[in-house]
Amino acid sequence: MTTYSFKNDYSEGAHESILSALLKTNLNQEDGYGKDSLSNEAIKIIQQKIGNKNADIHFVSGGTQANLIVISSILKPFESVIAPLTAHIAVHETGAIEATGHKINTVNTKDGKLTVEDIQSVLDAHTDEHMVKPKLVFISNSTEIGSIYTKKELTKIADFCKKKKLFLYMDGARLGLALTSAKNDMSLTELSNLVDVFYIGGTKNGALLGEAIVINNNELKENFRFHLKQKGALLAKGRVIGIQFLTLFKNDLYWELGKHANAMASKISDAIIGLNYNFLTDPSSNQIFPILPNKVLVQLSEKYGFYVWKKIDDQSSVARIVTSWATKEVLVNEFIEDIKKFSENDLNKNVEILINNK
């Protein structure tokens, strides 16, 4: 039986400030379907934070729902979306995008991030009306394998999309983790100015549930609430999500929680680097992917929850270790000590085998 899980960043419920705000406003009567005063106040604060008072903001319950609604609302029946092979929409959404009649043109990437060259390769392969027409570019920040986009990288993609008349959409399930990464060089305002649509993830950064879809491009705003309603996302008690984002952004709690999760992951990464192990991708946010001996992973799995991401060879595999806004440092310290202990045991066994074989 595991004593602590590093499987994801949504195992815990919600930050106590959110629970307190929900309780405090519980008996207040409010309008439904996102028209309540709490959601309206949250929208104004987010507009201020992104530096765009004209942005349309809509609250939905989860990331898959956000991706499904945004993408299907933008694309015509014959248009497609370009995404990395590791993208959430391509792997972990049960064909939700395809179920709306839209093809995903996937590209194999080195680190989960698209480049202009990747996008161009898809455009080059689709030349006439006998094929789908790529129209939307999908990226995630942070990506599904923990990497983050720099301002230079995102600017290059944004400029290319404008030139090619493509819409740019960012999945921000872990946006709070990306923008508080020590390796990030981009503000929320700068990011917002570069994309047509994105969403701010709450589920994986302290909220009970909820994501905030931000539509910057005026061309994509019209009738969006019809899409929300048709896809079951226009909640009668929309206040429940609105007040969570109000609480997260009113006093910058959102960023504090992201910083904590990243700091815990960084502490683990530093310890693993100190043991001379490598990583599948450069540790940048709260998802890290160390390559560890299988024997060490077996021992760790008896005490901790985590995913074995992929096999490297007969001796080693990649582990996916995720910290959260609620991860306790004392447990991180214990985890590090166990990695060190199990690694030393494995090393000592290997030395004994070498000696005995001489």
Residue-wise pLDDT tens digits, 62-73: 999 999 999 999
Separation in Å, CA 222 to CA 125, 156, 216: 31, 28, 12
Q: Is the pLDDT of residue 351 over 70?
A: no
Mean per-residue pLDDT, 131-154: 98
Domain spans, the chain: 4-9+254-347, 16-252
The third-level CATH classification (topology) of the domain covering 4-9+254-347 is: Aspartate Aminotransferase, domain 1 (3.90.1150)
Q: Please report which confidence band the pLDDT of residue 1 belongs to, taking 50, 70 and 90 as the band edges.
A: low
Distance separating alpha carbons of residues 229 and 272, to the nearest angstrom: 47
Q: At residue 341, does pLDDT exceed 60?
A: yes
Q: How far is it, in rounded angstroms, from Cα 200 to Cα 176? A: 8
Mean pLDDT of 296-322: 97
Q: In sequence order, which residues have a C-beta less than 8 Å from that of residue 29 and are 6 or more positions away?
A: none
Q: Which residue has the higher pLDDT, 344 or 272?
A: 272
pLDDT, mean over the chain: 95
Whether pLDDT at 355 is above 50 = no
| pLDDT-above-90 percentage for the chain | 95
Tell me the mean pLDDT in the region 206-234.
98
pLDDT range class, residue 356, cuts 50, 70, 90: very low
Query: What confidence score (pLDDT) does residue 349 get?
Result: 53
What 3-state class would DSSP assign to 253?
Answer: helix
- Statement: residue 107 has pLDDT above 70: yes
Backbone angles phi, psi at 335, to 5 degrees: -60, -45
Which of 129-133, 344-348, 351-355 has the largest mean confidence? 129-133
Mean pLDDT over 243-247 rounds to: 98
Region 52-68 average pLDDT: 98
Does the pLDDT of residue 269 top 90, yes or no?
yes
Mean pLDDT of 244-272: 98
Of 125, 93, 87, the closest CA to residue 108 belongs to 87
| pLDDT score for 283 | 97
Dig out the tokens for 287 from the structure: 């998802």
DSSP assignment letter at 290: B
Q: For residue 84, is pLDDT > 80?
A: yes
- pLDDT computed for residue 347 by the predictor: 60
Would you place residue 56 in the very low, low, confident or very high pLDDT band (cuts 50, 70, 90)? very high
Q: Is 50 exceeded by the pLDDT of residue 53?
A: yes
The two structure tokens encoding residue 110: 């080195």
Looking at residue 182, the DSSP 8-state letter turns out to be T
**pTM of the prediction?**
0.95
Of the pLDDT bands very low, low, confident and very high (cuts 50, 70, 90), residue 357 is very low
Q: What is the CA radius of gyration of the chain?
A: 22
Tokens of 55: 């942005």
pLDDT of residue 109 exceeding 90, the answer is yes
User: Chain centroid to CA 280: how far?
Assistant: 18
Burial of 18 (0-12, 13-18, 19+ CB in 10 A): buried
At 348, the pLDDT band (50, 70, 90 cuts) reads: low
Q: Which comes out higher in pLDDT, residue 348 or 274? A: 274
Residue 81 φ/ψ, nearest 5 degrees: -120, 135
Mean pLDDT of the region 110-120: 97
Task: Kindly state the helix (H) or strand (E) to which residue 125 belongs, with its residue range.
Answer: helix 116-125
CATH number listed for the domain at residues 16-252: 3.40.640.10
Rounded-to-integer distance, Cα 170 and Cα 163, Å: 18
Report the alpha-carbon distance of residue 266 to residue 282 in Å, rounded. 11
pLDDT surpassing 90 at residue 354: no
